[in-house]
Amino acid sequence: MKLQTHIPFQKQSDNLISYHSDVLLLGSCFAEHIGEKLHYHKLKSLCNPFGILFHPKAIETLIGSSVEGTKYSEGDVFFHQEQWHSFDAHSKLSSSSKEALLERLNVLREQTFKQIKKATHVIVTLGTAWVYRFLKSDSIVANCHKVPQQEFSKELLSVEEISESLSRIIGLITTTNPNCTIIFTVSPVRHLKDGFVENTRSKAHLISAIHKTLEIHTACFYFPSYELMMDELRDYRFYNEDMLHPNPVAVNYIWDKFQQVWFTDEARAFSKRIDAVQKSLEHKPFNPQSKSHQDFLRRLDLEKSDILAQFPHITF
C-alpha cells in the first residue's frame, strides 16, 4: 500500500554541484536553509549578502546594481526609528551610522558582483509575488523597515511582470557569467499574513512565471521545493510551531532531494565525510584524558588532514 505520493526526480544538468563549485543563493528565508546546509557541508557558497529578499523585483534590483556597478549614495538611504535603512536591503544591514550603512552596502554589492562572476551555480528562491510600492518614489521596495503602511501601496505582481523580471535576472547573470547554471525554486514557507487565498494566488503566479520563463531560457532549471512540501510532506508535523515554516525534518528531506538531483555522486559521498567530521567536532567526552579519546582525536586529525589536502578551501 502506498501512503505517500512521490515526485519523480532525475539529475537535470551536466553542470552538477561538486566541491569545486561556487554557489550564490538569493531569495527568501528558504534560501537561507539551503545556504546553511551548503556552509555546514563546507561547499563554497555565498547566501543573501543583502539579507532575505522575498520577491523577484528585490532580487533583480540587487543583481542589477551589482552587475552595473551602481554605487549607493546618501539619496539611497533614509533615517527611521533611530537607524539608517535601505529599501533595497534587509533590516539586518541597518545601522545607527549612515556612513557605515553606505560602506557596507557598497562592499556587499561588490562582493555580490564578484560572486556572480565566478559562480558555477546561482540558486534563486522566490517567496512571494506580493510587493510594496513606496508612494513617494513610486518604486517597489525589498523591505518596508516598519515605515507606516499608508506610505505604501500593496500590489500582486502579474505572471507577465514576474516572468519579465526573471528574464532580466537571467540576462544580467549570463552576460556577466555565460557558463553559470541558474536554478529557480519557490519557497515552501506560507505567507499567511497576506491571507490564505492571497498566499495561494502568490505562489501560483510565481510557479507559472518561472515555467513561462523556462520555456524561453532552456538552459535554466526548476527545483520543486514547494511541491515537495505540499505533496510529499503534506502534514503539519513537518512544520514549525508557527505552522508556516518547514521544520528541520522537512528541510533535511528537501535538502536530501536537492542533493540527489544537483550533486555529483562524488560530492554526495564527500559530504557524508564532512558530516561525520562535523559531528565528531561536537563530541563531548566523559574523560578528555582517556586513551580512547586521544585515539579518537588522532583519527579525527588524520581525517581532517586528508580532507584539507584534497580541498584547501575547507576550514573546520
How does pLDDT run across 251-274, given as a tens digit for each residue?
999 999 999 999 999 999 999 999
The identity of residue 223, as a single letter, is: F
In terms of domains, do 134 and 44 share one? yes
Residue 32: which of 201, 246, 300 has the closest Cα? 246
The answer to pTM > 0.75 is yes
pLDDT tens figures, 112-133: 999 999 999 999 999 999 999 9
Q: Residues near 52 by Cβ (< 8 Å), separated by ≥ 6?
A: 27, 28, 29, 31, 32, 90
Contact 183, 263 (CB under 8 A): no
**Cβ neighbours around 168 below 10 Å, total:** 15
In terms of domains, do 42 and 158 share one? yes
The CATH code of the domain that includes 156 is 3.40.50.1110
In terms of domains, do 76 and 209 share one? yes
In terms of domains, do 257 and 289 share one? no
Residue count (the chain): 316
In terms of domains, do 208 and 174 share one? yes
Q: What is the side-by-side order of every strand in the sheet holding 130-134?
A: 139-141, 130-134, 152-156
The identity of residue 294, as a single letter, is: Q
Residue 15 in any domain: the answer is no
Residue 148 in any domain: the answer is yes
Judged by DSSP in three states, 239 sits in strand
What CA–CA distance (Å, rounded) separates 135 from 150? 9
Q: What is the side-by-side order of every strand in the sheet holding 22-27?
A: 44-47, 22-27, 121-126, 181-186, 221-222
In terms of domains, do 292 and 174 share one? no
- pLDDT tens sequence for the chain (316 residues): 777 888 888 887 789 999 999 999 999 988 999 999 999 999 999 999 999 999 999 999 999 999 999 999 999 999 999 999 999 999 999 999 999 999 999 999 999 999 999 999 999 999 999 999 999 999 999 999 999 999 999 999 999 999 999 999 999 999 999 999 999 999 999 999 999 999 999 999 999 999 999 999 988 999 999 999 999 999 999 999 999 999 999 999 999 999 999 999 999 999 999 999 999 999 888 888 899 999 999 999 999 999 999 999 999 9
Into how many domains does the chain fold? Answer: 2
**CA dihedral sign, ordered 274, 275, 281, 285:** negative
The CA-CA-CA angle for residues 198, 202, 208, to 5°, reads 140
In terms of domains, do 180 and 316 share one? no
Residue 313 in any domain: the answer is yes
Q: Residues near 225 by Cβ (< 8 Å), separated by ≥ 6?
A: 30, 125, 185, 186, 187, 188, 254, 258
Structural domain containing residue 313: 283-316
Question: What are the Cα distances from residue 12, in Å, to 103, 157, 183, 228, 261?
Answer: 40, 29, 10, 17, 7
Residue 287 in any domain: the answer is yes
Residue 2 in any domain: the answer is no
In terms of domains, do 206 and 316 share one? no
In terms of domains, do 59 and 149 share one? yes
Residue 33 in any domain: the answer is yes
In terms of domains, do 102 and 179 share one? yes
What CA–CA distance (Å, rounded) separates 41 from 99? 36
Residue 13 in any domain: the answer is no
Question: What are the Cα distances from residue 296, in Å, to 11, 167, 299, 310, 314?
Answer: 37, 52, 5, 22, 21
Residue 224: which of 186, 250, 260 has the closest Cα? 186
In terms of domains, do 253 and 215 share one? yes
Residue 8 in any domain: the answer is no
In terms of domains, do 225 and 288 share one? no
